[in-house]
Amino acid sequence: GAGVSQTPSNKVTEKGKYVELRCDPISGHTALYWYRQSLGQGPEFLIYFQGTGAADDSGLPNDRFFAVRPEGSVSTLKIQRTERGDSAVYLCASSLGENTGELFFGEGSRLTVL
Amino acid sequence: GESVGLHLPTLSVQEGDNSIINCAYSNSASDYFIWYKQESGKGPQFIIDIRSNMDKRQGQRVTVLLNKTVKHLSLQIAATQPGDSAVYFCAETPPGGYNKLIFGAGTRLAVHP
């Protein structure tokens, strides 16, 4: 498809487990973003990639969260030792270049930690 | 699935009326602002943006107004349609940080026939 693709759409896991969430951006988009959205709130910035490098990871809440984009396209958000407070919708977005607020979001991966 | 924004402020309008959604932003140094629309179960969708050197910008059926004096942003939707029903978020960027959007809490727009 032409849009941002995120998998899985739903993930239920147990406290303490490891989780990977995948994002496939729009072809040709060099910038990729991860946001987290809790129920009733706006998206919260996590990390931004320009190409393969993380240009801004200031939104990652702690060192249990890590993201990679090894070839400058697909990105994986990794969460270690999940906690119940990690439950949220994790949104990925991409944009054609930098310095634009026109992000193209995927439908998100809903993570539930039991 | 669950809806985004179950406890958000709600604006109810009749189909065909104009809608005005308001947003107060937090950082007086922010210089770029964006409106997004989010339908239930979907990711946010870009609507329109405005830079701080402007006070008004128009798109198709939408107008964004910026009042930097009182740190206020509004989104006007003309001739509101049922398909406009969604949660609307304003977002700001810190100076020099255009790649890091700071979203507000959102407003639910409910359009009634």
Residue type, A111: L
A64 exposure class (CB count in 10 Å sphere: 0-12, 13-18, 19+)? middle
pLDDT of residue B15: 97
Interchain contact, B102 vs A45, CB within 8 Å: yes
Under 8 Å between Cβ of B109 and B82: no
Residue B104 and residue A107: Cα distance in Å, rounded? 19
Q: What is the pLDDT of residue B98?
A: 76
Closest approach of chain A CAs to the CA of B79, in angstroms? 24
Residue whose entry in the numeric block shows the structure tokens 């910035």: A45
The alpha-carbon radius of gyration of chain B (Å, integer) is: 14
DSSP string, B5-72: -TTS-EEEEETTS-EEEEEE-S-TT--EEEEEEE-TTS--EEEEEEETT-SEEE-SSEEEEEETTTTE
Output A64 or A98, whichever has higher pLDDT: A64
Closest to A101 (Cβ–Cβ): which among B1, B5, B32? B32
The pLDDT > 90 percentage for chain B reads: 81
B8 touches B65 (CB < 8 A): no
Q: Do A91 and B44 touch (CB under 8 A)?
A: yes
Minimal Cα distance from A54: which residue of B? B99
Residue numbers in chain B where pLDDT is lower than 50? 1-5
Q: How far apart are CA A43 and CA A50, in angstroms?
A: 20
- To the nearest whole angstrom, how far is the Cα of B41 from the nearest Cα of chain A? 7
Looking at the complex, report in whole angstroms how far the Cα of residue B71 sits from the nearest Cα belonging to chain A: 19
Helix (H) / strand (E) containing A111:
strand A109-113
CA distance B100 to B97: 6
CA distance B53 to B29: 12
Nearest to B87 by CA among B60, B112, B73, B105: B105
Averaged pLDDT, A38-64: 95
Can you say whether residue B70 is alpha, beta or left, with left for phi > 0 and alpha for psi between -120 and 50 degrees?
Answer: alpha
Sort out which chain B residues have CB atoms less than 8 A from A108's CB and list them.
43
Nearest to B91 by CA among A79, A93, A30, A71: A93
Determine the average pLDDT of the residues in A11-32: 97
- Nearest in space to B89 (alpha carbons), one of A24, A9, A91: A91
| pLDDT for the residue B3 | 38
